[in-house]
Amino acid sequence: MLYHSTRNKALSVSSAEAIAQGISADGGLFVPESIPELRAEDFAALKGLSYAERAARLFKLYLTDFTDEELRECTHNAYETGSFETPAVQEITTLADGSMLLELWHGPTCAFKDMALQILPHFLTRSIKKTGIDREVVILTATSGDTGKAALAGFRDVPGTRIMVFYPEDGVSSMQKRQMQTQEGENVRVCAVKGNFDDCQNGVKAIFTDPDMQKALADSGMQFSSANSINWGRLVPQIVYYVSAYITMLEKGILSDGQRFAITVPTGNFGNILAAWYAKQMGVPIQHLVCASNINKVLTDFIDTGVYDRKRDFHATVSPSMDILISSNLERLLYHMTGGDDAQIREWFTALKTDGRYEIPAELRNRIQAEFSGSFWNDAATKAMIGKVFAENGYLSDTHTAVGICAARDYIANAPEQYPMLIASTANPYKFGAAVLEAIGGDTNADEYEILDRLQAKSGMQIPKALAELKTKEVRFSDTVAQDEMPAYVKAKLGIA
Ligand SMILES: *Cc1c(COP(=O)(O)O)cnc(C)c1O
């Protein structure tokens, strides 16, 4: 399987090269030349297997320059060495209204990002060796909160790698900030940026694509790569969990073979929902995809109108990991849905950069609407839904998941036909403790650790160990820079000034 750049179809690289590079030098994202299809017997063969075994078999379809042994080693290291608190790795919970939550947050940092970022370092270090370049990899990551911590946890003390994470100064929850500032490890660094997530992401992208910076790095025996969902090595583990969830629903008798279901995904960078779309293309019987947003509703507007317009106010919400106006992975969807029209993709994404907007033709918009719908929900609706779900089920959902539940219920209420609904549950509620406690009627006038205790007392749900123990950890990183200071900061910290 070869990979093309969304902005240059003539460029073909191996999966190892796609993962090692992270993003194509032309600014495009790597996409598979074709999407493998699973037949009924392939699905049947995945039944009864552990998550790690399923994952290894599915990775083989995409990462064709890895051996079976290598893939199994990677999935073992990621999913079978105790970093996930549940042996199944992911869990499915059914709510009283019949909808199901796919809990993807049982990993070490309590958000779904662990599903991919526990395995990406294993893919990446092997990919670097395969491409024959023996350089130290510098992972540069912009985060709206959860990617940063999950990447730090995944890459911590991995030989041959260093990692630097940039987060928006006021754009993450206090627990997310604590998690990053206290990160242990010899090869890690964390820095706040004055600005929002898009400023961080633009800063990182500019450093990546700066030829002088690349040369300075190469001269020092280093090269950049990305742990953001622009890296194919992050997307492919996400496809796996949707396929695996389908198999688990078959095993549990929730679905019958081939029975169609719908999926709702709380969305920011469009990575998680795109993974569900790939799973659908592979043959998982997904009837419809619901894209849930908070009031940074650029995707809802895009799906409704065909106009992508990032020129709008940015809002900080109680679901900060979705406070994003540039959803990078949409580029991959548009590439596939235009039949690989790289010239068209270049035109749209150049326009996005220079004019802040692009518009797709009505014909394409209609095809997107046939597969996706979108809706957006403000903080009040989000908190009300957390309260409602708790009252109805005694179940705590985090703020992002609650946005998803709002969108799913709205979709079901208006859908012409009914299908079982699977909602991606993207974070442990304790990660966004203050908003969740407030939503269930608790008193939030307390520090973040007292809030955890109060939430536990009220809900009976156990505080995750990884969050409870932050209290005693030393703050190691408290630097803050402006976006235009990021290149100098990176050079200084890498010692290549
Ligand atoms: C990252 C994140 C999202 C958004 O996922 P995308 O892949 O960026 O669309 C949603 N919820 C949580 C908790 C996240 O960490």
Q: Helices (DSSP H) in 257-378: which residue ranges? A: 271-282, 298-305, 330-337, 342-355, 362-371
| SS3 assignment, position 240 | helix
The residue among 237, 262, 256 whose CA lies nearest residue 40 is 256
Task: State whether the Cα torsion 438-442-443-444 is positive or negative.
Answer: negative
* Site to substitute for ligand 1 among 326, 398, 400, most atoms within 8 A of C-beta: 400
Which residues form the pocket of ligand 1, taking CB atoms under 6 Å from any ligand atom?
Answer: 111, 113, 146, 229, 266-272, 321-322, 400, 426-427
User: Cα of 441 to ligand 1 centre, how many Å?
Assistant: 26
The b-or-e profile of 118-128 (16+ CB within 10 A means b, else e) is bbbbbbbbbbb
Residue with tokens 């583990």: 237
**Segment (H or E) for 320:** none
Q: Contact 169/158 with Cβ under 8 angstroms? A: no
Q: What local confidence, expressed as pLDDT, does residue 134 receive? A: 80
Q: What local confidence, expressed as pLDDT, does residue 380 receive? A: 98
Q: What is the pTM of this model?
A: 0.95
Q: What local confidence, expressed as pLDDT, does residue 437 receive? A: 97
Residue nearest to atom 14 of ligand 1 (CA): 321
Instruction: Give me the residue spans of the domains in the chain.
Output: 91-107+233-435
Q: Contact 140/490 with Cβ under 8 angstroms? A: yes
Question: What is the position in ligand 1's atom list of the atom closest to the CA of 271?
Answer: 7
* Site to substitute for ligand 1 among 267, 406, 428, most atoms within 8 A of C-beta: 267
User: Cα of 295 to ligand 1 centre, how many Å?
Assistant: 15
The architecture that CATH gives domain 91-107+233-435 is 3-Layer(aba) Sandwich (3.40)
Q: What local confidence, expressed as pLDDT, does residue 23 receive? A: 87
334-377 confidence digits (pLDDT tens) = 999 999 999 999 999 999 999 999 999 999 999 999 999 999 99
Q: How far is the C-alpha of 379 from the C-alpha of 316, rounded, in Å?
A: 10
Distant-in-sequence contacts of 354-358, Cβ < 8 A, 24+ apart: 356/309, 356/310, 356/311, 357/307, 357/308, 357/309, 357/310, 357/311, 358/307, 358/308
Q: Helices (DSSP H) in 394-444: which residue ranges? A: 399-414, 433-439
Chain mean position to CA 32: 18
Positions in the chain short of pLDDT 70 = none
Strands (E), 35-187: 91-94, 100-103, 136-142, 161-168
User: Cα of 178 to ligand 1 centre, how many Å?
Assistant: 19
Question: What is the position in ligand 1's atom list of the atom closest to the CA of 229?
Answer: 7
User: Cα of 427 to ligand 1 centre, how many Å?
Assistant: 8
Residue nearest to atom 2 of ligand 1 (CA): 321
Q: How far is the C-alpha of 482 from the C-alpha of 495, rounded, in Å?
A: 20
Residue with tokens 């073992």: 76
Q: What local confidence, expressed as pLDDT, does residue 331 receive? A: 98
User: Cα of 271 to ligand 1 centre, how many Å?
Assistant: 8
Q: What local confidence, expressed as pLDDT, does residue 281 receive? A: 98
Q: What local confidence, expressed as pLDDT, does residue 487 receive? A: 95
Q: Contact 11/5 with Cβ under 8 angstroms? A: yes
User: Cα of 270 to ligand 1 centre, how many Å?
Assistant: 8
124-150 confidence digits (pLDDT tens) = 999 999 998 788 999 999 998 899 999
Q: What local confidence, expressed as pLDDT, does residue 474 receive? A: 95
User: Cα of 216 to ligand 1 centre, how many Å?
Assistant: 33
Question: What is the position in ligand 1's atom list of the atom closest to the CA of 427?
Answer: 13
3-20 confidence digits (pLDDT tens) = 999 999 999 999 999 999
User: Cα of 425 to ligand 1 centre, how many Å?
Assistant: 10
Phi (first) and psi of residue 348, to 5 degrees? -65, -45
Q: Contact 101/92 with Cβ under 8 angstroms? A: yes
Length of the chain, please? 497
**Residues with Cβ < 8 Å from 19, sequence gap 6 or more?**
63, 120, 123, 124, 127, 225, 231, 232, 233
The percent helix, strand, coil of the chain (3-state, each to 5) is: 50, 15, 35
Q: What local confidence, expressed as pLDDT, does residue 226 receive? A: 85
